[in-house]
Amino acid sequence: MLIALVGLGLQQAKADTFNFTSDHCSGGCGPQSSFGTVTLTQVGSNVNVVVSLLNGNQFVKTGAGGMMYFLFDAAGITLANITNIVAAGNPGGPTTAFAGPIHANGTGDWMWAIGCATCPDGSAGGQGAFSGPITFTVTNTTLAAMEVGHLVNGVFELFVADILSGTNGRTGDVDVSGGSVPDGGATVMLLGVALGALGMVRRYLTS
């Protein structure tokens, strides 16, 4: 019973992490081995998303990224499923979700995006740039549904971020691309989940 209950708790938390390594900035935003990461964590029937930038890069709103900060595909959801959006450090207006199709340079059209309708265009000088991270939750979905991506000229495109480069001050979009479709996530032994499962066992054994 103990092993079964702990195992059940651990199975409810899986995560995939991806790196932004493809550079579509005009003139290049690198060189950088990774511009940032996207981590998706399955918790029950929801997926938590954390988009973090590295090397002093900042999120910015420009035409290169369809005037959005972050773009992704997800099957079987609506705008109402994209919840709890937080863009840490955003000096502009409210950060919200948008429905596509939204075009980003070099990566095609996307189903969904995180952006700000009233924030300044940062194409010239990086106005309104912020460090993030951007976090949000997509309800009633799975890792597989969040990782559908799409093909552009035979390249698998998964996620896009519009950035102000910490290397050279250029702006443009960077993306997670190439390779094959992820396998749905390696199980992550999240301590909080494990402790919760152990707590259930303790209560069961002492009742």
| Segment 127-152, tens digit of pLDDT | 999 999 999 999 999 999 999 999 99
86 Cβ contact partners less than 8 Å away, ≥ 6 residues apart: 95, 134, 135, 136
- Tens digit of each residue's pLDDT (9 = 90 or more) over 24-55: 998 999 999 999 999 999 999 999 999 999 99
Residue 110 and residue 72 in contact, taking contact as beta carbons nearer than 8 Å: yes
Q: Is the pLDDT of residue 73 over 70?
A: yes
Q: In angstroms, rounded to a whole number, what is the distance separating the alpha carbons of residues 109 and 17?
A: 22
Q: Which residue has the tokens 């369809």?
A: 66
Query: What does the pLDDT read at residue 191?
Result: 36
Tokens of 144: 């597989």
Q: What are the angstrom distances between the C-alpha of 94 and each of 72, 110, 152, 176, 191?
A: 19, 21, 31, 26, 33
Query: What does the pLDDT read at residue 49?
Result: 98
Q: In angstroms, rounded to a whole number, what is the distance separating the alpha carbons of residues 179 and 206?
A: 50
Query: What does the pLDDT read at residue 92?
Result: 87
Going by C-alpha positions, the residue among 113, 39, 111 that lies closest to residue 74 is: 111
Q: Is the pLDDT of residue 198 over 80?
A: no
pTM above 0.85, yes or no: no
